[in-house]
Amino acid sequence: MRSRQLSVLLLIASISAQAAAPRSADREALRKTMDSVIERTTLKNARVTVLVRSLDDGAIVFSRDPDELLNPASNVKLFTAAAALSRLGTEYRFETEFLVDQDFKDGKAKTLYVRGRGDPSINTDRLYGMVSELSHAGLKEVQELVVDDSWFDGERSAPGFDQEYGDKAYLSPTGALSLNWNTVGVYLRPAENPGTRASIEVEPPSEYFVVEGEVATGTRTQRRFTVSSSIDKDRVRQKIEANGVVPVDKGVWSSWKKIDQPALYFGFTLKALLQQRGIKVKGKLRPGVVPSGQKLLYTAQSDTLDIVLKKLNKHSSNFVAEQLIKTLGAEGRGAPGSHAKGIDVVEDFLEREVGIPRGTYVMKNGSGLNDANLFSAAQTTRLLVHMMDRFQVMPEFVSSVGIAGKDGTLKYRFEGSDAVGKLRAKTGTLETVSALSGYVESVGKERFVFSIMVNDFSGRAGTVVPNIDALGAAIAASGSRGGPSAAVAALTPPMVVGPFEELKVRLQTYVGLAQKGEKRNVALLRTAWRSEKDPAVRAIIADALYQSDPREGANVRTLLDSALASDDVYGRIKKASLEAGFDLPVLPSLVELASAGNVDAASRLFDFVRVDAHDERASAWLSEQLAVVATDAPQELLVALKSTPELDRPVVIDSLVRGLVKAAQPEAPLWGVLRQSQGAADPTMVSFARGLETTLSQKIAEAKAPGVPAVVAVPPITSQPTSGTSATAPGG
């Protein structure tokens, strides 16, 4: 019997050893590949923290400075989501209460009170549903409307948000009574004929908005407009201003902007919807606190927390993150909820449940915005392992993050790799910051948890994101026949410069598709771009892809990643366009994006300014476009200039000066932004803005001085523009 037992044990040991051998080889291949990616790409000169751990046996498969604290950007949302699930529970629902006075009868309410409890998911459709419920509850008339958002404190922005200012949707404020993520949709509807006025509409419409400005209808290829949102002079309403041109026959164009007073925004919209439903609202709307003893008429409940978390992580909503932080504070430490209370709850969760002590990291907000947070890859993977081991919340947590190649912020990443459908992770992107952390099941059926954070890289995020994706694809390919190295090679195929005559032919094809601007061509163009090896053709396809659906963020990213100012891309496209008689593609799209506030597009334009510094005609045109960007998106231009290497700035500043002098705009918006930035919280921005204002003033004065040659006029462009006459790039 003992002999038989010994034989069985030896057999089991032999089988285990045979199974371990391939796994060991797979892990060694993965380590070598990941080392190679870091050492041979843009990651080498950046600060990087990486940790890959097997969920099957707990072994650390790969690490690179895993304990270094770096800015994780939106990976912070993983910590916010985990704490919310732990402390609030998967079945938690946000409630919004509607109350009336005790003497409410015959459907007439002296006062209708609305008390919010931080629901981040209320939109106009849901609010209309609430109004319907109030109608069915018998409400017919309201004398006064009171909005109560005292469940949260009055501090609208989290720490870290003060490093930026403006009206971008991702900077929207918190509020216990909030609507549409505290943003407003501004819709620009072209008229039937070019040259006539387009309409400016807000959604949802209400007395809260004051709409100003004028937008014209242009040709099918003219598109450049600006939209702004700010508190009106009466400090009660929101002013929406839109100006510019939208193309005819291209549908409605939308822009989402933040609002500044959440409770009033909610209240005015509620008032408008009540009136639509036939419920009279006779008196005023005012903020206030619900007194004790009021009668509850209706309570609206949100979806359960697991549904809300999908909005948080898959779409990386800063607004939802900060609403959750304040909710954790109110529920865990008492109302009013504040950022300080909420962060305290998260830190308590991390110390008591996850085993990450206070003081070993920095967490100031729940969204990861700007320079307010520091975590390591080791701490992030510790959290991910902890959540995987908690059966009660694991499915909700894992399902909240994006799926590679399928949805969320990962929808168009990892295309064509083994990671598609097998990698689930949270992205993170800021200036000089990119991160990715989550879970992977490899081809070899091993489960991994990983965290990759990259800080202080030079250039745009597009220079490091493909390499981060290569690391993720390598993990997913572990155990495959070709192995991780083959997966990385397939994800980043070598570019091959093709015949020049073929480039001219393909230029004609893709410029034609760009001019049509039809969304139905997107799938074809995306496939063509993914398989194309000539970098110049790839850039032309990317431009056609963007022009076919400029509303899709992935198309913007593709254009920015493909629009290179190198000789084999820009140089060849420029020459081919001149010989073929076409306006130069790509550059007008970059101008359009930069004018709309895309910092990466502005930075990319600077590359072309430097390359074309000695081409008089092209240089003059680019100077004019920088002046346009300085008018339409001065804050973003400033940020892009600040991130430009010092050695490269002078030629860009000289070009900008040339454009500003020709534009002759003494009160250009850039000057106001420069002065405002000198009061910023970031001391490096204060110093930079002060120095730039001095430099620009001196150079403009010199350019206007007697004896200085006049700015050379650019010959008129007769070809059709891509996004308005001033944004048409010269053919040579």
Is residue 706 over pLDDT 70? Answer: no
- Reported as a single tens digit per residue, the pLDDT across 130-153 is 999 999 999 999 999 999 999 999
Is residue 325 over pLDDT 70? Answer: yes
| Residue finishing a domain among 524, 557, 585 | 585
Same domain, 100 and 61: no
Same domain, 629 and 682: yes
pLDDT at 6: 58
Same domain, 117 and 229: no
Same domain, 613 and 706: yes
Q: pLDDT tier at 726 (50, 70, 90 boundaries)? A: very low
410-419, 466-475, 640-649: range with highest mean pLDDT: 466-475
| Residue finishing a domain among 491, 519, 549 | 491
Residue, of 692 and 234, whose pLDDT is higher: 692
- Residue 556 maps to a domain: yes
pLDDT at 234: 84
pLDDT at 491: 80
CATH of the domain at 283: 3.50.80.20
pLDDT at 667: 66
| Residue finishing a domain among 230, 263, 296 | 263
Q: Please answer whether residues 111 and 253 qualify as being in contact, where contact means their C-beta atoms are separated by less than 8 angstroms.
A: no
- Reported as a single tens digit per residue, the pLDDT across 487-504 is 888 887 778 899 999 999
Domain that holds residue 283: 95-156+264-307
Mean pLDDT value across residues 262-284:
97
pLDDT at 723: 35
Tokens of 54: 């097997």
- Residue 592 maps to a domain: no
Tell me 670's DSSP state: H
CATH of the domain at 387: 3.40.710.10
Q: Which long-range contacts (CB under 8 A, 24 or more apart) does 462-465 make?
A: 462/557, 462/560, 462/561, 462/600, 463/42, 464/41, 464/42, 464/43, 464/46, 464/434, 465/413, 465/429, 465/434
Same domain, 145 and 289: yes
Same domain, 203 and 76: no
Same domain, 624 and 675: yes
Same domain, 536 and 632: no
Is residue 157 over pLDDT 50? Answer: yes
Same domain, 581 and 636: no
Same domain, 467 and 367: yes
Same domain, 453 and 527: no
- Residue 9 maps to a domain: no
- Residue 342 maps to a domain: yes
Same domain, 464 and 511: no
pLDDT at 168: 92
Count H helices and E strands in the chain, helices first.
Answer: 23, 20
- Residue 590 maps to a domain: no
- Across the chain, which distance is largest between two alpha carbons, in Å? 109
pLDDT at 21: 56
pLDDT at 562: 92
Q: Which residues contact 571 (CB under 8 A, 6 or more apart)?
A: none
Q: Please give the model's pTM, rounded to 2 decimal places.
A: 0.88
- Residue 604 maps to a domain: yes
* Three-state helix/strand/coil letters over 415-445: CCCCCCCCEEEEEEEECCEEEEEEEEECCCC
Mean pLDDT value across residues 60-87:
98
Compute CA distances 544 → 507, 550, 594, 596, whole Å.
10, 10, 17, 19
- Reported as a single tens digit per residue, the pLDDT across 335-376 is 999 999 999 999 999 999 999 999 999 999 999 999 999 999
Mean pLDDT value across residues 3-25:
58
Q: Which residues contact 676 (CB under 8 A, 6 or more apart)?
A: 165
- Reported as a single tens digit per residue, the pLDDT across 563-580 is 999 999 999 999 999 998
Number of domains in the chain: 5
pLDDT at 78: 98
Mean pLDDT value across residues 595-620:
91
Tokens of 339: 């950022």
Is residue 730 over pLDDT 70? Answer: no
pLDDT at 713: 36
- Residue 2 maps to a domain: no
